[in-house]
Structure 1
Amino acid sequence: MTATNDTSAAIEGRITDEDIERARAQIGIPVNKSGELWNHVPSQDGISHFAFGCGDDNPLFHDPAYGATTRWHGQIAPPTFPISTGIDQTPRFTDPERKKLFKGLFRGTGKYYSGVKWTWYQPIYAGRPVLMESYTQDVQVKESSFSGGRSVKETYRHLYVDIDGNPIATRDESYINAERHGSKKAGKNAHIERQHWTPEELAEVEAAYEAEVRRGAEPQWWEDVAVGTELPPVMKGPLTVVDIISMHMGWGWGGYGLGPLKYAHQSRTRMPGFYVPDEYGVPDVVQRLHWDPERAKALGIPAPYDYGQMRASWVTHLLTNWIGDDGWLVEMDVQTRSFNFHGDIHNCTGKVVGRGAGAEDVLELEVAATNQRGEVSTSGTARVLLPSRQTGAVVLPVPDAELRRRGAAVASRIGGKVGAELRRLHGE
């Protein structure tokens, strides 16, 4: 999630006015940057592997036979599954000016996930292709409390649609580009040490896992929910390298095009700035700060930490457990406030804070994830729909006209990859 080049600004990890200007010039322009898809077309196994990587054993995400007994008539994907799929129909830039605009922004800085807003319109099924488009939605400049220098917050929109252009979901994901030279000086996390767990403390964690409640086939009726209702919590952690590996098993490499052995050679050839030699001189990906303690310490971070996408998926686990098979998660907007280091737990919690006047109105919730130090590292809001004894089944949300038009444009692009993927799917 970081990069370097050989200019003096990049070596020092400084943010330049030129980069800020170019970032703002990218707003609204579709750009093909999804990389190699991990799940070219969603499959039964791909969906199950993703849920496995999130630590979510809900049979709705694993078992087609179980799914057939629900209103969805089959296995569906966990809410954040789109991060692992999406055929990008956007043509790659060929004109020099456009290529220059998108080349090498904020090199040498640290790029940290800061939050995401998801909105969902329809489920994803095995065998049904997902198309996508991504572009910069917003750019904000501010002083960084983490690095002690200047930072830039970039928000990228990812629009996912079905083969007909009907929106499936939007994902507005934000990242902070922080100047490297300030991170060691700031020392914001210098006091934190990895948690040492006693058998008694671990027993409490195991008990929390055992106490997890999944609503499943029993409807969570809209009429039975009051403001102040608390969701049964979901435990995650203590975080280990296996958790990071398992997330990659379901997610892939997040579109970076990384991989082992010869794939790593090809990646180093294509983007050498994404590799930094370790203490033995072996070039390794900058992302290793998620599992390599020495790399994390070299960057002024006391220990490796998770991916923000993991915590977003953990919060959706909390929400889908509570709404049951018949509910629908409409929206989730969460921010990450601090690192989730190896050895940390995260107890995911939620509470109903508002409800509409009619049975078809959404319920408003507050959600959070709290570690063993009592720090709320992730917080935000969510909106859900529940079935009603009075009006019946949930009616899925309808995207606005502007989003439907953009979705239709994504699906109608000629010369994109979707045709080839469909032929491959059907063995042609």
Structure 2
Amino acid sequence: MTTTESGADTAAVEGRITDEDIERARAQIGIAVNQRDEAWNKLPSADAITHFAFGCGDDNPLYHDQDYGRGTRWHGQIASPTFPISTGLDQTPKFTDSERKKLFRGLFRGTGKYYSGVKWTWYQPVYPGRPVLMEAFTVDVEVKESQFSGGRSVKETFRYLYVDADGNPIATRDESYISAERHGSKSSGKLAGIERQRWTDEEFAEVEAAYEAEQRRGAEPRWLEDIHVGDELPLVIKGPLTVVDIISMHMGWGWGGYGVGPLKFAHQLRKRMPAFYQPDEYGVPDVVQRLHWDPERARALGIPAPYDYGQMRAAWVSHLMTNWIGDDGWLAEMDLQMRGFNYHGDIHRCTGAVTAKGESPDDAVSLEVFATNQRDEATTKGTAKVLLPSRETGAVVLPVPDMELRRRGAQVVSRIAGRVGQELRQLYGE
């Protein structure tokens, strides 16, 4: 069943999910689509890498100090694991045929879109001065009833493939979002009774003490032979979340593909995407994304307070693991599910434990990880795999992507003769 044009407009206003949009979402699977907005960091630089780690609250010198990095096995400063969200020259040609444009036009308009989880895999580090190329496409579409909103929801999973200039995969990011009918979030009352945390001096002193107690393995190798199932990762604390934390994340990340900008840039986006703007209480059209910092917008959507980005918690949990594995280890995989909102005023305790250890020194170590707020709610849960150096076999050997992924990476760089090839030449001044 499909809607009429007027019916589709009504559904958009009411924030309802239509069968037509679901059909179009499924038809997009596997098709690389050009991202509207350019990478925030067209070429990773030492400063860009530092700014990203700063925005995540990660002071590891491996991500900040080129001289420090030269003394490690990486022979230079490298980026923190989730840095690729801020970079990646898009290799995909823009659609020119009307049918393809129609297929990718405006899905699930008027609904609430929520980050629900991400699976990262990493194959090699990102270095300053080395370009990262990227393509994005849908890998899965799932329809279900939303536990949060009480209405219909659609879970879409998008893959972002990052490769180097030779087409060798750097990382993949399979990121999932749930589009939920907005009318349900107000009527379900699921979040009723949650209030922003008020901190006493004594409670906040405990937070400060946790920051002081943070442990980073750093230059001392964490040998595979020394770890055991059940070993706990030392706590990394984040928060209480403030608007400054949101701003700082944007300083390193950019606007995450939303295309948001100030002043005339906002004017241009309003013309291109008028539905992305809704009037505030004073009649000024502002981005719907403002629910991450605007209490009034959050409450209007049935959410008790503004909240963070899922990308922030992914970066925080990766911080937990890079602190633990040290300079010589490698975070190979991280699979997270977001189980709840992280409101302004909340803290998150990032913790984890070893769950499995392989027979061979080349096998990954399996971890279970959590981010838990002051209400003892594990709003983020997941698993990870890390590689550690061995006294028996020596340094970590980085993972090798499978042939299908390598072929896709080769296809990405095969487009380099076009627009992105020109961009690369400009970056290198040729």
Give the TM-score range, shorter chain.
over 0.9
The residue aligned with 1:294 is: 296
Change (3 A) 1:217 1:24: same
1:60/1:325 contact within 8 Å kept: yes
Any idea what the Cα deviations from partners look like across 1:280-327, whole Å, max 9, x if unmatched?
110100000000000000000000000000000000000000000000
Task: Please state whether the residue corresponding to 1:118 is helix, strand or coil.
Answer: strand
- Counterpart CA distance in 1 for 2:339 and 2:271 is 35
The residue aligned with 1:427 is: 429
Any idea what the Cα deviations from partners look like across 1:57-103, whole Å, max 9, x if unmatched?
00000001000000000000000000000000100101000000000
Tell me if 1:64 matches 2:102.
no
- Counterpart CA distance in 1 for 2:121 and 2:354 is 18
Any idea what the Cα deviations from partners look like across 1:82-125, whole Å, max 9, x if unmatched?
00000001001010000000001000000000000000000000
- Counterpart CA distance in 2 for 1:78 and 1:414 is 26
The residue aligned with 2:386 is: 384
My pick for the range that moved more, 266-275 or 200-209, is: 266-275
Give the drift of 1:356: 0.3
Tell me if 1:13 matches 2:37.
no
Give the drift of 1:418: 2.6
Q: Which of 404, 408, 417 does residue 402 from structure 1 map onto?
A: 404
The residue aligned with 1:304 is: 306
1:345 counterpart letter in structure 2: I
Give the drift of 1:275: 0.5
The residue aligned with 2:152 is: 150
Task: Please state whether the residue corresponding to 1:331 is helix, strand or coil.
Answer: strand
- Counterpart CA distance in 1 for 2:302 and 2:358 is 46
The residue aligned with 1:105 is: 107
Task: Please state whether the residue corresponding to 2:345 is helix, strand or coil.
Answer: coil
Tell me if 1:268 matches 2:270.
yes
The residue aligned with 2:3 is: none
Give the drift of 1:36: 2.0
1:115 counterpart letter in structure 2: G
2:411 counterpart letter in structure 1: A
The residue aligned with 2:165 is: 163
Give the drift of 1:266: 1.0
Give the drift of 1:416: 3.6
- Counterpart CA distance in 2 for 1:21 and 1:358 is 46
Give the drift of 1:382: 0.2
1:228 counterpart letter in structure 2: G
Q: Which of 111, 121, 124 does residue 123 from structure 2 map onto?
A: 121
Give the drift of 1:35: 1.2
- The correspondence of residues 24-423 of structure 1 with structure 2, limited to 5 A, is 24-33=26-35, 35-423=37-425
Any idea what the Cα deviations from partners look like across 1:121-180, whole Å, max 9, x if unmatched?
000000000001100000000000111100000000000000000000000000000001
Give the drift of 1:423: 1.8
2:38/2:90 contact within 8 Å kept: no
- Counterpart CA distance in 2 for 1:229 and 1:330 is 19
1:159/1:171 contact within 8 Å kept: yes
Any idea what the Cα deviations from partners look like across 1:229-267, whole Å, max 9, x if unmatched?
000010000000000000000000011211111111111
- Counterpart CA distance in 1 for 2:248 and 2:189 is 31
- Counterpart CA distance in 2 for 1:220 and 1:376 is 27
My pick for the range that moved more, 401-410 or 32-41, is: 32-41
Q: CA RMSD in A?
A: 1.0
2:293/2:307 contact within 8 Å kept: yes
Task: Please state whether the residue corresponding to 2:232 is helix, strand or coil.
Answer: coil
- Counterpart CA distance in 2 for 1:409 and 1:230 is 42
1:208 counterpart letter in structure 2: A
Any idea what the Cα deviations from partners look like across 1:176-207, whole Å, max 9, x if unmatched?
00001111001111110000000000000000
1:90/1:416 contact within 8 Å kept: no
Gaps of 5+ in 2: 1-6
Give the drift of 1:6: 8.3
My pick for the range that moved more, 49-58 or 6-15, is: 6-15
1:87/1:417 contact within 8 Å kept: no
Q: Percent identity?
A: 78
- Counterpart CA distance in 1 for 2:364 and 2:397 is 11
Give the drift of 1:43: 0.3
1:219/1:326 contact within 8 Å kept: yes
Give the drift of 1:405: 0.4
1:159 counterpart letter in structure 2: L
- Counterpart CA distance in 2 for 1:144 and 1:53 is 32
- Counterpart CA distance in 1 for 2:150 and 2:417 is 46
2:38/2:89 contact within 8 Å kept: no
- Counterpart CA distance in 2 for 1:414 and 1:161 is 12
Task: Please state whether the residue corresponding to 1:317 is helix, strand or coil.
Answer: helix
Give the drift of 1:414: 4.6
Task: Please state whether the residue corresponding to 1:19 is helix, strand or coil.
Answer: helix
- Counterpart CA distance in 1 for 2:374 and 2:60 is 26
Task: Please state whether the residue corresponding to 1:311 is helix, strand or coil.
Answer: helix
Any idea what the Cα deviations from partners look like across 1:30-68, whole Å, max 9, x if unmatched?
001251211001000000000000000000000010000
- Counterpart CA distance in 2 for 1:131 and 1:412 is 11
- Counterpart CA distance in 2 for 1:140 and 1:46 is 36
My pick for the range that moved more, 269-278 or 52-61, is: 269-278
1:297 counterpart letter in structure 2: R
Task: Please state whether the residue corresponding to 1:36 is helix, strand or coil.
Answer: coil
- Counterpart CA distance in 2 for 1:34 and 1:309 is 19
Task: Please state whether the residue corresponding to 1:231 is helix, strand or coil.
Answer: strand
1:327/1:386 contact within 8 Å kept: yes
Task: Please state whether the residue corresponding to 1:232 is helix, strand or coil.
Answer: strand
Task: Please state whether the residue corresponding to 2:49 is helix, strand or coil.
Answer: helix
Task: Please state whether the residue corresponding to 1:7 is helix, strand or coil.
Answer: helix
Task: Please state whether the residue corresponding to 1:158 is helix, strand or coil.
Answer: strand
Give the drift of 1:269: 1.2
TM-score, reference length from structure 2? 0.97
2:338 counterpart letter in structure 1: T
Q: Which runs of 4+ in 1 moved over 3 A?
A: 414-417
Task: Please state whether the residue corresponding to 2:233 is helix, strand or coil.
Answer: coil
